[in-house]
Amino acid sequence: MQRIKLDRVDRQILADLQADGRITNVDLARRAGISAPPCLRRVRALEESGIIRGYHAAVDPGALGYNVTVFAQVALSSHAEADLRGFEERVSAWPEVRECYMLAGETDFLLKVVARDWEDYQRFLTTRLTSAPNVVHVTTSLAIRSAKQEPGVPIAVAPPEAE
């Protein structure tokens, strides 16, 4: 990823796009205090640098029949880089795994998994996850409800005099 220095305008653009990825360039420019053409150039530069990785819609899982969210803590038998990468590649092919984090500590990976119901998750657990090479232990935590789902990162937009 190419490094670029972010000023107040860039941070404002990022904060606004992170809050509403469908905001028009004209509205984005107005909120950032610049005209539309330089705003579009800044957005393109943020995309090209890799700071903006993409755009997506926030979809309600329950509306599509995914009523269960599970966090699976996975322990592996080998921590050789090839085995870790092999597990990550396998997980990336499983559509029900929505997030995957490699951790330091007792758990090697934390997976966020969605399923239609508990039986659907159990089927995934037994036919895919626990039978995967190198997996020695899986601890499952069922999410009861979500109190917060905030995408992205906190972006502080400093006042102009702070720059």
User: Which whole number is the average pLDDT over 118-147?
Assistant: 97
Q: Dump pLDDT digits (tens) for 65-116.
A: 999 999 999 999 999 999 999 999 999 999 999 999 999 999 999 999 999 9
User: Which whole number is the average pLDDT over 135-161?
Assistant: 89
This prediction has a pTM of: 0.85
User: Are residues 68 and 51 located together in one domain of the fold?
Assistant: no
Distance of CA 74 to the CA centre of its chain: 19
Name 19's bridge partners: none
User: Are residues 32 and 50 located together in one domain of the fold?
Assistant: yes
Number of independent structural domains in the chain: 2
Domain that holds residue 40: 8-57
Position 148 in a domain: no
User: Are residues 87 and 135 located together in one domain of the fold?
Assistant: yes
Q: Is 31 exposed, middle or buried (0-12, 13-18, 19+ CB in 10 A)?
A: middle
Position 153 in a domain: no
User: Are residues 103 and 119 located together in one domain of the fold?
Assistant: yes
Q: Dump pLDDT digits (tens) for 31-69.
A: 999 999 999 999 999 999 999 999 999 999 999 999 999
Position 107 in a domain: yes
Assign 114 to helix, strand or coil: strand
pLDDT at position 151: 87
Specify the CATH number for the domain of residue 51. 1.10.10.10
Position 163 in a domain: no
As a whole number of angstroms, the distance between CA 151 and CA 66 comes to: 19
User: Are residues 128 and 93 located together in one domain of the fold?
Assistant: yes
Position 132 in a domain: yes
| Res 1 pLDDT > 60 | no
How many CB atoms within 10 Å of residue 97?
19
pLDDT at position 12: 97
Closest to 6 measured CA to CA, from 51, 38, 41, 55: 51
- The enclosing H or E element of 70 equals strand 68-76
